[in-house]
Amino acid sequence: MENSSFSLQGRRILLVISGGIAAYKSLDLIRRLKERGATVRCILTKGGAEFVTPLSVSSLSGEKVYDDLFSLTDEHEMGHIRLTRTADLAVVAPASANLIARLAQGRADDLASTTLLASDKPILVVPAMNAKMWQSEAVQANIAVLAARGTMLVRPGTGEMACGEVGEGRMAEVAEIVADIEKYFAQPGPLSGRRALVTSGPTHEPLDPVRFIGNRSSGKQGHAIAAALAREGAAVTLVTGPVALPDPAGIRTIHVQTAREMLEACEAALPADIAVCAAAVADWRPAEESAQKLKKGAAEPALRLVENPDILAMIAREGNIRPRLVVGFAAETEKADENARRKLAGKNCDWIVVNDVSGGAVFDADENKVTLLARDSAGKVVTESWDAMPKDDVARLLAARVSDHFKAA
């Protein structure tokens, strides 16, 4: 591997490949972005598909390729709105004169133009066309319109083109495109200067040296939230119970076993600006831990339980070190909204993320379906329900809401 750095670790890039011989460079671009740790989802236009195949794009990206606006299956799995909402940056490479014109005009007549028009994320355009086309008044006027709207540009290079002419218009080299993308992400994020505390995973409350009381939490959602907040610029401390997950890159991670250990680690991590308590902390622990393994055949053990500390309530209590935003999680098997509202009030937190775990379908799964309950400035509870989506996408949406909260404040 030529470049083993992970400068784009965890970043999600939406790559739009339009028509033109330069589309072959997009394959190398995908490879370079993946090398640096990025996830790349691709939209292939009808023109782009004349130069590179969906199979080649999918093989390199490791993701499904999207090309049809009116595919009901795609709209259910990953609609054009979510394609951009779950990305950190949209890159159009190559950007043909035709697609640039449609973007400038605000047209939405295929998946690429519709998705980019609906985008709430920055867009980086990498033009590629004949030199005369690039120099034309029409194209330059369209580029000026896009620039005025905040669209970023990687200027085309100068040299011999596939048509045999020489001049400015050939698609920039892949290394230059990657450098511009890395430069964009090197900028301070909206949560730069903020400290965040995230809890994740289960706790294990020992009964004897080999047995414990625990739950089925995998930690996938909590770890994804920690990574998403870090991508927004926050300095994150992750306190995690026992999980089979790698530590998120660039995040201070503290490993604990029990609820009491988690409480101690959280207290040590305060003060913080943000606390997201996604861990599934055991509510009870055995009153006594046997020094030896309990044996079958002996007298039936009397199991007495005592209540564990309430970590969320401790973090959310009023005081000098209470984070400005405290987010709790509620995994419910019945009356999810009612129980979440009760928890929101009883724990004194600002937001609650609630999901229905009846049947255990959420535990260790890669998807989640949640509702966010938040108290507004007047104390009214506002709810926002999200469709089922990958846990990484839930984390990104939650991190975006956190960023919006601090921008408004």
The set of catalytic residues is: 163
Q: Cα angle at 77 between 75 and 79, to 5 degrees? A: 35
Strands 371-375 and 381-385: antiparallel
Element of type H or E holding 197? strand 195-200
Mapping DSSP to helix (H, G, I), strand (E, B) and coil, where does residue 180 land? helix
Q: Which amino acid belongs to residue 209?
A: P
- Residue 383 pairs in a beta bridge with 373
What lies within 8 Å, CB to CB, of 34 at 6+ separation is 40, 60, 61, 62
Strands 166-170 and 157-160: antiparallel
What lies within 8 Å, CB to CB, of 8 at 6+ separation is 33, 36, 37, 38, 181, 182, 185
Full DSSP string of 84-144: HHT-SEEEEEEE-HHHHHHHHHT--SSHHHHHHHT--S-EEEEE---HHHHHSHHHHHHHH
- What are the b/e assignments for 62-74, b being 16+ CB within 10 Å? eeebbbebeeeeb
Place of tokens 């596939």: 162
- Residue 354 pairs in a beta bridge with 330, 371
What lies within 8 Å, CB to CB, of 365 at 6+ separation is 220, 391
Structure tokens given for 104: 């400038």
| Exposure on the CB side of residue 325, measured as CA atoms within 13 A | 27
